[in-house]
Amino acid sequence: MSAGVGVDLENIWIRFGDFVAVRDANVHIKGGDFFSFLGPSGCGKTTILRAVSGFLEPSEGNVLIGGRNMAGIGPNKRPTALIFQNLALFPLMKVWENITFSLEIKGASAGERRKRADELLDMIALPGQGDKLPSELSGGQRQRVAIARALCAEPDVLLLDEPLSALDLKLRQHMRTELREIQKRVGITFIYITHDQGEALTMSDDVAVMRAGVIDQIGNGKTIYNDPSTAFAASFVGENNVFRGKVSKIIGNEALIRTNRSGDLMARITTANQGRMNVGDDAMLFIRPEALSIAPTGTQGDHFVTAQVKHEEFEGNSFNIFCQGDGGKELKVSIPNLGQSFDDHTGQKMTLEYEVHNAVVVPAGELAAE
Ligand SMILES: Nc1ncnc2c1ncn2[C@@H]1O[C@H](COP(=O)(O)OP(=O)(O)OP(=O)(O)O)[C@@H](O)[C@H]1O
């Protein structure tokens, strides 16, 4: 199996009539990486995957696989394999026959096929399960068989279209680890599409955050979470509290925001926006629930927020406090449960504190839908 083949999307535009499904996408995926496209339903993820697999030609721009331009090369001739949410294993074929179906078409002998199936069953951590029928496996095991079947064709790039979305939550979380381990063992490039930020962050080397046909940001999980480029990326990935306002002062890489309802708040301008924000600009300031803590009542300053507590809940690993927030949105505070006593604050006015480097400012923009 050849490893480490990169994929490049160069100025890709995809139009369906007047509708622009993908707008000027530029992505460099390193060979051997696990790369995810993350975004809400309808943002163009599947459309990009179809352009990589060759089921669709971009209206403009180039898809390069291993540096080779794929223009005019059909899906069967590309070094890619595609796995869908609907696995479509053959129900009456044994697991090993399912896995080696592509070899049977090429006329390989039963002995050869069985040997290859056993290698792949080891690879997906299902040794000795080749003689079962798909119906005798769990959902997660069937998922792994589908991956083995795709890998049997020796693709350079495996394309996965929301392959875990039909599984229940526990299995989905377990399969994240499994998938990542299989990818590392095989060493080929995986391109994964999902609307689930937990999946994207836990499995990927790099993530592209997509919104309405546009790629807002590309980076590793930590960068996307801690240093978002846009209001959409900040609000789509993880939970975040938003404060709206205008830039009133810029000091180095920090900005003071005159918020609509919470006074003046200081925060870090994210990397992509440094040097690009000016006094008077409409801005959005984001603070994660875990970055807020309870301060002595009445403390004031540019990193304190006053809020009225609406209700509280205990989530096991954290106490969550929900307040009347800025901008019509609820404000959430998450206090880790370290065994401390925790009074009910419902109805009280509370002062909340954050460290300036844990709050970020980006230009005002579209937020992700709840
Ligand atoms: N063949 C087509 N003709 C017209 N419009 C299309 C076609 N294929 C996709 N679209 C539109 O392009 C947009 C992007 O679709 P796409 O399937 O790529 O979204 P997605 O991000 O994969 O969504 P989901 O997570 O729901 O699968 C959608 O608005 C969709 O309606």
- Of the three residues 180, 207, 226, the one that is the final residue of a domain is 226
- Of the three residues 197, 226, 255, the one that is the final residue of a domain is 226
Q: At what angle do helices 139-152 and 110-123 cross, to 10 degrees?
A: 130
257 assigned to some structural domain: yes
Residue whose CA is closest, atom 3 of ligand 1?
16
- Which residues lie closer than 8 Å to 328 by C-beta, 6 or more apart? none
Q: Give start and end residues of each alpha helix (H) in 21-84.
A: 45-53
101 assigned to some structural domain: yes
**Quick one: 210 and 247 in the same domain?**
no
349 assigned to some structural domain: yes
**Quick one: 255 and 220 in the same domain?**
no
CATH code, domain with 346: 2.40.50.100
Closest CA to 14 of 60, 53, 45: 60
**Quick one: 79 and 140 in the same domain?**
yes
Kindly state if the Cβ of 211 falls inside 6 Å of ligand 1.
Answer: no
Kindly state if the Cβ of 50 falls inside 6 Å of ligand 1.
Answer: no
Per-state percent for the chain, helix, strand, coil, to nearest 5? 30, 35, 40
Closest CA to 203 of 173, 226, 240: 173
Ligand 1 probe mutation, 9, 12, 18, 19, most atoms within 8 A of CB: 19
CATH code, domain with 109: 3.40.50.300
- Which residues lie closer than 8 Å to 6 by C-beta, 6 or more apart? 28, 29, 30, 31, 64, 65, 66, 67, 189
Q: Provide φ and ψ at 245, rounded to 5°.
A: 180, -160
44 assigned to some structural domain: yes
ipTM confidence score: 0.94
CA atoms of 284 and 111, how far apart (whole Å): 63
- Per DSSP bridges, beta strands 359-363 and 282-287 are antiparallel
Distance 20 CA to ligand 1 centre (A): 10
CA atoms of 328 and 250, how far apart (whole Å): 26
pLDDT in the model for residue 153 = 85
Per-residue pLDDT of the chain (370 residues; tens, 9 = 90+): 445 899 999 999 999 999 999 999 999 999 999 999 999 999 999 999 999 999 999 999 999 999 999 999 999 899 999 987 666 789 999 999 999 998 888 888 999 999 999 999 988 888 999 999 999 998 888 888 988 898 888 899 999 998 888 777 877 888 888 889 889 988 999 999 999 999 999 999 999 999 999 999 999 999 999 999 999 999 999 999 999 999 999 999 999 999 988 889 999 999 999 999 999 999 999 999 999 999 998 888 999 998 889 999 998 999 999 998 655 568 999 999 998 888 888 988 889 999 999 999 999 999 998 6
Ligand 1 probe mutation, 14, 18, 46, 191, most atoms within 8 A of CB: 46
For 121, the domain range is: 7-226
Ligand 1 probe mutation, 20, 43, 55, 210, most atoms within 8 A of CB: 43
**Quick one: 205 and 245 in the same domain?**
no
Dihedral sign computed on CA atoms, order 296, 298, 303, 306? positive
**Quick one: 251 and 198 in the same domain?**
no
CB 288 within 8 A of CB 267: no
Kindly state if the Cβ of 41 falls inside 6 Å of ligand 1.
Answer: yes
**Quick one: 199 and 238 in the same domain?**
no
**Quick one: 215 and 260 in the same domain?**
no
- Of the three residues 226, 246, 272, the one that is the final residue of a domain is 226
Residue whose CA is closest, atom 31 of ligand 1?
42
Domain count, the chain: 2
> What value, to the nearest 5°, has the Cα angle with vertex 185 and ends 132 and 137?
20
1 assigned to some structural domain: no
Closest CA to 52 of 6, 99, 109: 6
Cβ of 239: how many Cβ atoms within 10 Å? 11
**Quick one: 208 and 244 in the same domain?**
no
Kindly state if the Cβ of 195 falls inside 6 Å of ligand 1.
Answer: yes
102 assigned to some structural domain: yes
370 assigned to some structural domain: no
Element (H, E) at 250: strand 241-251
**Quick one: 276 and 212 in the same domain?**
no
> Cα dist. 190→42, 60, 140 in Å?
21, 24, 18
pLDDT in the model for residue 213 = 96
272 assigned to some structural domain: yes
**Quick one: 108 and 248 in the same domain?**
no
**Quick one: 117 and 249 in the same domain?**
no
- CA Rg, the chain, in Å? 24
**Quick one: 178 and 325 in the same domain?**
no
Q: Ligand 1: which atom is nearest the Cα of residue 37?
A: 21
Closest CA to 332 of 356, 301, 354: 354
